[in-house]
Structure 1
Amino acid sequence: MRGTTGSDVIEHPGAAADDVPTRQRIIEATVRLIVQEGVRSLSHRRVARSAGVAPGAPYYYFKTIDDLLVHAFEEAFEREEPGLAAALQAIAAGEDVATTLATFLHARLADREYLVLLNEFWVVALADERLRPLGRAWGQRLQQELSQYLDDESAAIMAVSLIGGLAQWATVADPPMTVEQLARVLRRGLVGPTSSSVCGVPD
């Protein structure tokens, strides 16, 4: 350790020269590699090279690849938090549930990196129980919020399931689904083919 005078900074092993903390650079590099090459390609050495940090830096912050994955996927879920919060506020203010969720989902589906991360997450979570709480927390939070505006808890679970399913379908859909198409799918799933009640707009 050295003294800190003027512009001196105490650095962890492998700290980057720019203003982005080394730990964050490592997480961002992990996300980048997952998107480009998939989870199976990950190693501490490859992450260090992609992050532009010393080979030992990823080991310093994340002892295992599982640790890296947990933090990388946490970041992926955090990316959607502002949009999700805005959508829930709009629904609370009386906006149509199906259309509001469709607009939120459409914006997220336009982010190819997010789509790849999300689908990689669900695949890896099948085998890695450490990741499952992240998925449960996301689904339960959305379910609890939506249950206030839908007929019952089952409708809220259906909405969460539809959002997850549509995110998977979007990886192969051609052409991409529009907001209107997404809203129709959500509305049909939530209220059925003939009802016009809970989502505000007739089917």
Structure 2
Amino acid sequence: MGVGKRTTRDPEGRRRMIIEAAAELIVEDGVGGLTHRKIAARAGVPLGSTTHYFESLTDLRDAALEFLAAMMDSGLAELGRELAGDQSVARVLARVFHQYLSDPVRVRADAAFYVVATQDPGLRPLATRWFDGLVDILSGITDQQTAVAVAVYGDGAMLHAMLHDTALSEEELEMTIERLMENTNA
């Protein structure tokens, strides 16, 4: 053995680094731009690591999407806590939507993810996770139809931001959400 410093192997840490690198690339370039080479370069690992830890690029992509979905779940949990506070539901939603819609990289990545999910039905549960989670949260505040209408509006606002390269203002978002919710107790 050499006299140099030994490094401790951390297979789970390396696997996590690869997943996180793939997730970052999905957010930046969309699902279709993933390659083993790009992921390994981003993670700072040898190219063979991506195939050592994942049988296929599809398996790695799915692990990265699950990672992003878990982050989405955290965001939904935080949104649920905020909506339970004293602020107007429309104001909170408008602020959260606006923050998201003001990030063009994320909006493009999510739009690309939606497109891929239409081609791969196995990805649909991940692609609809935010929508379904938002409807679940809002259904505790308003009726089911209104919850769905607000979630659909959020998806439409995402497409608007992508096509127009700008987010609707918080005021525009709040006004529309208030109108959608005006016949409820929110």
Q: TM-score, normalised by structure 1?
A: 0.75
Is the Cα–Cα contact under 8 Å of residues 97 and 199 in structure 1 kept in the other structure? Answer: no
The unaligned stretches of length 5 or more in structure 1 are: 16-20
**Structure 2 residue aligned with 1:46, among 30, 38, 43?**
38
Q: Which amino acid aligns with 2:38?
A: R
2:148 to 148, 157, 160: 157
1:92-151 CA deviation, whole Å, 9 max, x = no partner? 23432221111111122233332232112101111112211213443322212211211x
Q: Secondary structure at 1:149's aligned position in 2?
A: coil
Shift of 1:86: 3.0
* CA RMSD across the alignment: 2.7
Counterparts of 1:162 and 1:131, CA distance in 2: 22
Q: Partner letter of residue 58 of structure 2?
A: D
Structure 2 match to 1:198: 184
Q: Size of the alignment, in residue pairs?
A: 183
Contact 1:80 1:108 survives alignment (8 Å):
no
Unaligned runs of 5+ in 2: none
Task: Note the 1:9-158 alignment, pairs <5 A.
Answer: 9-12=8-11, 21-150=13-142, 152-158=143-149
Given the superposition, is the C-alpha separation of residues 24 and 116 from structure 1 closer, same or farther in structure 2, using an over 3 Å criterion?
farther
Aligned positions of 1:152-191 closer than 5 A: 152-188=143-179, 190-191=180-181
How many Å separate the matches in 2 of 1:80 and 1:117? Answer: 14
- Given residue 8 of structure 2, which amino acid in structure 1 is its aligned partner? V
Q: Equivalents in 2 of 1:39, 1:120: separation in Å?
A: 7
Secondary structure, aligned partner of 2:52: helix
SS of 2:162 mapped into structure 1: coil
**In structure 2, distance between residues paired with 1:141 and 1:40:** 25
Runs of 4+ aligned residues of structure 1 deviating over 6 Å after TM superposition are none
- CA contact 1:105–1:163 (8 Å) conserved in 2: yes
Q: Helix, strand or coil for the counterpart of 1:131?
A: helix
Tell me if the contact between 1:73 and 1:117 (Cα under 8 Å) persists in the aligned partners.
Answer: no
Q: Name the SS for the 1:10 alignment partner.
A: coil
Alignment partners' CA distance in 2, 1:180 and 1:167: 16
Distance in 2 (CA, whole Å) between partners of 1:87 and 1:51 is 30
Kept after mapping to 2: 8 A contact 1:109/1:170: yes
Decide whether the 8 Å contact of 1:29 with 1:47 is kept in 2.
yes
Decide whether the 8 Å contact of 2:30 with 2:113 is kept in 1: no
AA aligned opposite 1:158 = A
Could you say which structure has the larger radius of gyration?
1
Cα 1:175–1:138 shift into 2, 3 Å: closer
Q: Which has the higher contact order (CA 8 A, sep 6+)?
A: 2
CA shift, 1:58, in A, is 0.9
Q: 1:24 to 1:184 in 2, by over 3 A?
A: same
TM (normalized to structure 2)? 0.81
